């Protein structure tokens, strides 16, 4: 065992003495040691219940003959920080979490690693760290929140964001906004649609990094505790076989994850995170792969934010296995790819498959809700390296209008709430990319306000930042190169005509190349927003969105 370097031999007596003080007994030194990195916080509902989940997990690990040690890692709430300077910390936290998992695995020479995750960046961050650790490991997702309810409507956090725009437009009263605010979040769990957390949780099951079916179990569902204890046995078997993530993560397993995202109208953040995970695993994956897979993968799940049902209702319908079974039947997944159990994806789906009688959430491929998947990659003179659109959230496939240019999200939000954005406008929010913000914040506050005011189908939005999984409408993000390094989005001026042509995968400003060249020659970079500390280091090292916005390694 790798941990023998810590606990065996004459010279390790001091280490054993320290370990005895935390409860390791004579027999325990013969067991594999496992690190449990827990992103618990009582600062938000998404991760609130992970303290109890960790107790269930550690009990299961001990029952399986392993000895667990629990550690903490940070978790930033996108829902709380959205629309504020705090949102800069969200994507940065993905790297910090990955570093934390890797650090613990290396510092204690553990034989296995588990990351307990919930809110958006804790899932890919935990997965990146588990892959880096180089030992058998898994990522367990805390699960979706239960839907709220108001006047017969099921609510998620997105309804609160959109209610802000509805209130600004005079469509609802202060009292109604207050009722929605109070009823939308009934308890623990991550945001309740096919937003980023649930999208990535499903993607990890497709990759095989999470036990199939586990992540779909809601946070407060009675089955969660039992399944968490069972995860201990799964990890014990992987450790016994020395079955590590890099042993089963392949290009085909990543394409499976992309197909799962496309088929469920999942978050555009999955593009960023799967690119980052593929790099950790040493697997070739490009932005163009997302477009190719999405073109041949129809949307078969009627899920929010664009659809009808919440993630809890998907679980009731049959969960992840039902989605995967439909895709396997149509030949849209590589069923022979292995998972953390050592069994193939197809074998795991067969074991977990169930379908609730009369369910209306997941459809057969021949009765698909949309003929192509939810992810579209656009390129053109505004995004030479690409940009991402979630097509499942809009019916518009062509848009042309004048640019309304803002160099900060706050300024754009003010214009929306003051009624200064008109039908036909193309709202541009720039200098909010990986380096520019830094941290590539999400724009859910602005996009939801636009939708809430009734402008969703009539206004487009472009940004070098990101969108929440809760975003819907003609919203194009991840524009690369970003404004902070002189990308073409930095050259836009108020009133420039911008064209979005989804069918031809084009994003362009209708200007001659000579004019763009003149503007490029005049462009000057802005001074960095942070001169020292974590955010300054991040801005100096982070790459562009088309490559996953990962930090550069030493040459």
- Report d(CA 125, CA 78) in Å as an integer: 14
Which CA distances in Å does 257 have to 158, 266, 554? 24, 11, 29
Q: Among residues 133, 294, 448, 468, which one is catalytic?
A: 468
Pairing state of beta strands 153-155 and 67-72?
A: unpaired
419 — alpha (psi -120 to 50), left (phi > 0) or beta?
left
Contact 264, 299 (CB under 8 A): yes
Residue 468 falls in the annotated catalytic set: yes
- The single-letter DSSP state of residue 304 is T
3-state helix, strand and coil shares in percent for the chain, rounded to the nearest 5? 45, 15, 40
Q: Which of 123, 128, 101 is nearest to 112 (CA)?
A: 101
- Report d(CA 133, CA 37) in Å as an integer: 12
Contact 265, 306 (CB under 8 A): yes
Q: Which of 352, 345, 366, 270 is nearest to 319 (CA)?
A: 352
Contact 507, 379 (CB under 8 A): yes
Cβ-based neighbours of 544, under 8 Å, separated by 6 or more: 385, 433, 434, 480, 481, 482, 485
Read off φ and ψ for residue 529, nearest 5 degrees. -70, -25
- Report d(CA 423, CA 261) in Å as an integer: 30
367: how many CB neighbours lie within 10 A of its CB?
9
Which CA distances in Å does 132 have to 97, 196, 215, 251, 555? 12, 22, 21, 17, 18
Q: Which residues pair with 153 in a beta bridge?
A: 150
Pairing state of beta strands 426-429 and 398-406?
A: parallel
Which CA distances in Å does 523 have to 30, 142, 486, 487, 518? 63, 46, 7, 10, 9
Q: Which of 257, 214, 256, 211 is nearest to 237 (CA)?
A: 211
Contact 320, 143 (CB under 8 A): no
SS3 string of 15-50? HHHHHHCCCCCCHHHHCCEEEEEECCCCCCCCCCCH
- Report d(CA 511, CA 436) in Å as an integer: 25
Which residues participate in catalysis according to the annotation? 468
């Amino acid at each position: 065992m790798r941990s023998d370097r810590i606990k065996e031999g004459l010279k390790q007596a001091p280490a054993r003495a320290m370990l005895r003080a935390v409860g390791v007994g004579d027999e325990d030194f013969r067991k594999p040691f496992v690190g449990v990195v827990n992103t618990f916080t009582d600062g938000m509902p998404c991760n609130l219940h992970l303290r109890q989940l960790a107790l269930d997990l550690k009990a299961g690990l001990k029952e399986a003959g392993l000895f667990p040690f629990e550690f903490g890692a940070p978790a930033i709430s996108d829902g709380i920080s959205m629309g504020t300077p705090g949102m800069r910390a969200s994507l940065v936290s993905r790297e910090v979490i990955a570093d934390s998992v890797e650090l613990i695995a290396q510092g204690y020479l553990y034989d296995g690693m588990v990351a307990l995750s919930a809110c958006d960046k804790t899932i890919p961050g935990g997965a990146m760290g588990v892959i880096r650790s180089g030992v058998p490991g898994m990522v367990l997702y805390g699960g979706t929140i239960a839907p709220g309810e108001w006047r017969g409507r099921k609510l998620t956090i997105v309804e609160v964001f959109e209610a802000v725009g509805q209130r600004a437009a005079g469509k609802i009263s202060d009292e109604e906004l207050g009722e929605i605010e109070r009823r939308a979040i009934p308890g623990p769990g991550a945001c309740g649609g096919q937003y980023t957390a649930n999208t990535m949780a499903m993607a990890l099951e497709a990759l095989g990094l999470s036990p199939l079916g586990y992540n779909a179990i809601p946070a407060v569902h009675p089955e969660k505790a039992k399944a968490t204890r069972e995860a201990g046995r799964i990890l014990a078997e992987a450790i016994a076989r020395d079955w590590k993530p890099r042993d089963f993560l392949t290009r085909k397993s990543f394409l499976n994850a992309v197909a799962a995202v496309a088929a469920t109208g999942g978050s555009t953040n999955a593009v960023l995170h799967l690119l980052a995970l593929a790099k950790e695993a040493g697997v070739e994956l490009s932005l163009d792969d997302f477009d190719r897979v999405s073109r041949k993968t129809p949307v078969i799940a009627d899920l929010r934010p664009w659809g009808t049902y919440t993630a809890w209702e998907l679980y009731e319908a049959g969960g992840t296995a039902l989605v995967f079974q439909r895709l396997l039947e149509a030949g849209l997944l590589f069923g022979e790819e292995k998972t953390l159990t050592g069994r193939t994806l197809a074998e795991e789906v067969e074991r977990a498959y169930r379908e609730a009688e009369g369910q209306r959430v997941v459809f057969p491929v021949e009765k698909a809700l949309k003929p192509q998947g939810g992810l579209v990659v656009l390129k053109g003179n505004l995004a030479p390296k690409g940009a991402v659109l979630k097509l499942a959230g809009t019916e518009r496939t062509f848009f042309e209008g004048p640019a309304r240019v803002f160099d900060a999200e706050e300024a754009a939000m003010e214009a929306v709430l003051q009624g200064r954005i008109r039908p036909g406008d193309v709202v541009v929010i720039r200098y909010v990319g990986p380096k520019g913000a830094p941290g590539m914040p999400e724009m859910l506050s602005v996009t939801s306000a636009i939708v809430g005011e009734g402008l969703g189908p009539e206004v487009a939005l472009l940004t070098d930042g990101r969108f929440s999984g809760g975003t819907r409408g003609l919203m194009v993000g991840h524009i690369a190169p970003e404004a902070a390094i002189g990308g073409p989005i930095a050259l836009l001026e108020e009133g420039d005509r911008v064209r979005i042509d989804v069918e031809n995968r084009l994003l362009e400003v209708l200007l001659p190349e000579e004019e763009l060249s003149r503007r490029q020659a005049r462009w000057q970079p802005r001074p960095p927003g942070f001169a020292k500390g974590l955010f300054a280091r991040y801005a100096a090292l982070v790459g562009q969105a088309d490559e996953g916005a990962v930090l550069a390694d030493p040459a």
